[in-house]
Structure 1
Amino acid sequence: MTRALLILALVATAFWVFTIVDCAVQPPTRHRGVSKPVWILIVVLIPVLGGLLWLLVGRVRRSAIAARRAPDDDPEFLGSLGAITDQDERIRRLEEELAQLDAEDDDPRWAADAPGQAAPGTPKAASPDAPPDPPVRPADGDDERGQRGAVS
């Protein structure tokens, strides 16, 4: 009888050590339920029952982890191909709008050096929606109050 209890204690100790090590070396993505440190505490503080809980509840089997697939084998990827064509259509429309805006920029009415425009350096007539020109500071660096430097 003593011999059976000794063997049972030895097996329980080996199982306990095995589950502690197994729980500690598993990546956090393979833990279910609670976090890795909590599982380690459960396994250490409740020797045999904690180990059984770890193996039955906490550990995610390798076969349960989704294997990576090539894109043409992945149904989710194949289903998202319709969304990609929608994005391509939006990009095509935006490129057309940009091309139209570029064509407007090439319009001679908008060019600064177009014929009929004033030469550079001559004052131009202000349009009603144009912002006013900033005030001109005196050449010696003083502002209108006779102070030099930053205006506070």
Structure 2
Amino acid sequence: MLRILPPLLLLALWIWAFIDCLTTPEQEVKHMPKVIWVIVVLLFPLVGSIAWLAIGKRRDGLASARSASRSAGRQVAPDDNPEFLASLKKDQRDRDAELLKQWEADLRRREEELRDKGDEGNPDKR
């Protein structure tokens, strides 16, 4: 078991670094073009993977990456989009207002029916 563990860890590191290198946007790559980094990681699994993870990628923080992606015109998840949430609230208010109008009209109609039935049974009101 101990003989298999180091090669498995090396393979996992290599795959992780390779996928990370491929999926990293070009503007976040440091020191060399992205294509060169991919070649280095492929040809030198241990050294290339460690070098990529240590110095190949800009790591300014998650907040700046999020703001950059939003300013680049990427879509925002519906839960984070205030315009979308406001439109949902407006749609719900419109549906509620329409339902209220229907209930009020139905209530008026029923009251008139009851009034008419009461007038038919009482001859003094004619």
The two structures have a TM-score, normalised by structure 1, of 0.40
